[in-house]
Structure formats: C-alpha cells, structure tokens
Amino acid sequence: MDHFDGKVAIVTGAASGIGKEIARALLARGATVALADNHAANLATAADELGRQKTEPHVVDVTDAQAVADLVRDVAARHGRLDFMFNNAGIAVFGNAQDMTLEDWNRLVDINVRGVIHGVAAAYPLMIDQGGGHIVNTASVAGLVPTPSGVGYSMTKHAVVGLSSSLRIEAARYGVRVSAVCPGFIDTPIVQNAKVIKLDRERMLREMPVRFHSPVALAQAVLHGVERNRGIIVFSGFARFGWYFHRLSPAFMTRMLAAGARRNPMLAE
C-alpha cells in the first residue's frame, strides 16, 4: 500500500510554489489534502487546478495561532485524524543586515518561525493522542549553512531546523515523526516576491552562480524523504555540497562564502 494513500494532510503556503507542488504530489499518491494559504484568490485557483474532489481550501494566516489551531481541529474532526502536517508557508528578505528594519526582522520571525510553531503546537498534541503522524517543516539550505545577504532569513530557517531536529527526538517515543525540508534554490514565487533591500533584483537573479530547480522535482524528493522518515531532507546537489562542506570544515565554508560574497551581486548596493 502506498505510504500516502488514504491519508489526510494539511499543507500551508499551498496556493503556489513548493506548497502547491507538495499538495499535487500528495494527491497523486492518494491522499486527501487541506490547502491552507492567506491569499484567497490564489488559493481558489490552486484548488481548481488540483481538483476539488480531494482538496479542501482554507484561507488561513499562519501568524494567527487560533486560526491554525482551528484549521487542524476542523480537518481532524472531518476526517477522523490528521496524518501529515506540512508547515510550508514562508517569506524571504534579502539585503545586508544593517539595512533591515525591525519590521523586516519581526515579519520574518512571525511567518517563518511562529508560523511553524503554530502548526506544531496545533498538530503535535493531536498526533500524540491518535498514536502517530508526521510533521514536515520547510526550512532551507540557508538553515544549514551561513547565508550572507540573507541573515534574517537564514536565522529563521536555522530555527526551523533546530526545532525539527530537537522535536524529532522527543516525538519518537509517541510514534510521531518530524522532518525538516532544506532545499537549495527553487524556482518559486517566493524569489520574485521576496523583499530586496538596496539590491538589484533582476541582476541578482541573472547572476546567481547556481541554477534554480523545479518545485515539482523538490516535491517528489520531499515525499521520498518523508516516506523514508529522514530527519533532514536536503534537495539539489548544490545544497548537499554546501551542507557537506560546512559540516566537514566550517572555517573552509566561511572562507569560500566570503570569497563568493565579494563577487556576488546580492551584496552589491
């Protein structure tokens, strides 16, 4: 029997990008998927595209703890359980740290960290009570290695990795699994919608030293990792390369990033 067939999943940030492709992949494997996003129009379009027979669109702002709790409770009540919670919603801000406002820092934390916490706080006790489940938190390779010109973003993704890795140990005794997804550069709207501070967005994207990967390929890798209960799911050769060398020699990785930063337009005003 397929690992996802007949299972119930919630995916946040499901109106586009990684979230929509994870939902699509889950549906193809036989799951019922609750799509959650705060963009109502995009969410409706995604639900129509994916097919409303096994999708349930919910307009939810992940920064609202009560709204996320209500979502989890309502989906579990309707289907009798919740098997997968994909905390995927997130934003990005790029620019040098000294140019970021307190509002920039707070918005990153509210969505990228508190949004995940709200999903965990709602789904984890329920999964303990039902005797199992899998929480999947979308982080980034920026949560595994230093990220100049993305300090705030990297901070939040390191927090998601730390939360996931620590909770994974606690949750195992209850039969609940926890994974962190750490992709490299993925071609999604988050790149185009990211706030950039004193940067040339088009030049930055044009001169990136690595290619962007399809969210479709990432979604397949995510389900593969979830099925095998991997704690850290790293996608793309570039991301694995960076993670490997940072673990092997943090000093070497820091020097390499510093050298690259001097040439990368992400650091050029």
Here the tokens at position 202 are 């088009």
Residues in the chain: 269
Find the angle CA(110)-CA(112)-CA(116) to the nearest 5 degrees.
95
Separation of alpha carbons 212 and 214, rounded Å: 7
In the residue annotation, 244 being an active-site residue is answered as no
For tokens 């609940």, name the residue. 176
CB 71 within 8 A of CB 10: yes
CA 180 to chain centre: 8
Which of 204, 10, 203, 178 is CA-nearest to residue 92?
204
Instruction: Determine which one of 124, 153, 174, 244 is catalytic.
Output: 153
Spatial CA neighbour of 137 closest among 170, 91, 177, 179: 179
Residues sharing a CB contact under 8 Å with residue 237, sequence separation 6 or more, in sequence order: none
Q: Known catalytic residues?
A: 153
